[in-house]
Structure 1
Amino acid sequence: MSNEKELKIGDIVTGIYKTGKYIGEITQDRSSHYLVKVKAVLKHPQQGDLHHPKQAEVGFFHERRALAFNEQTNIPKTMVKKFEGEIPDYYSSLKLAIEHLMEELDKEDSVFGSMSKEKLKALKQDYFKGRE
Structure 2
Amino acid sequence: MLQVFLSINNNEEIIQLPVPPEEYEVPSPWKNEQIDGLTQTLNLIGTRGLQSIEITSFFPAEGHDYPFLQSREMWGMEYVDAIERWRERRYPIRVVIVDESNKRKNVNLAVTIDNFVHGIKKDGDIHYTLQMSEFPFVSTKKRS
Same structural fold, with TM-score higher than 0.5 when normalized by the shorter chain: no
Query: Whose strand fraction is larger, Structure 1's or Structure 2's?
Result: 2
TM-score after normalising by structure 2: 0.27
| TM-score (norm: length of structure 1) | 0.28
Relative to total residues, which structure has the larger helix share, 1 or 2? 1
